[in-house]
A = this chain, B = another copy of it.
Amino acid sequence: MDGRYEVRAIGRVESPLRERAQAPKQGDEGGPDAWLVFEPRVARGLRDLTVGQDVLLLTWLDRADRNVLAVHPRGEAARPETGVFATRSPDRPNPIGLHRVTVLALDPDGLRVRVSDLEALDGTPVLDVKPVLDGGTER
């Protein structure tokens, strides 16, 4: 049991955000709307998503540095260095992004989902979508 597991992208983000320097630190700071483009093999899993629903999107932050264990929060040098598990830094051992978004539109083929306020970069792999369980703000 060596603790290594393989995740496989179920889709990709299509977004105007191309570089980390452009990206807001969190989605509620002004991330753009974006498309999630899913692979045909997972279509059956998507069929019960609905417009207006809030979901949690899990992504693989493929441009992150996995060797980082401490950061200056939000990249501000004046803030004391902090262990990554007490921050939302994308740089961390398993760079899984967690984003709360609202479903804005669904393409008729079921494989393209428009979502609000997503800070993930264009091309970011999508790993999972989960419904929000209650009315909380969940971020």
Contacts and interface: CB of A to CB of B under 8 A. Distances in A.
Interface of A: 3-10, 26, 42, 44-50, 53, 55-56, 58, 60, 62, 69-70, 82-88, 92-94, 96, 98, 125, 127-139
18 contacts: A3-B8, A3-B125, A5-B6, A5-B62, A10-B93, A42-B69, A42-B85, A44-B83, A48-B86, A50-B86, A85-B130, A86-B131, A87-B131, A88-B131, A93-B128, A94-B127, A98-B130, A132-B139
A4 B10 CA distance: 10
A55 B86 CA distance: 8
A62 B88 CA distance: 25
For this chain, the copies found in one complex come to 2
B96 A60 contact: no
Contacts of A9: 3-5
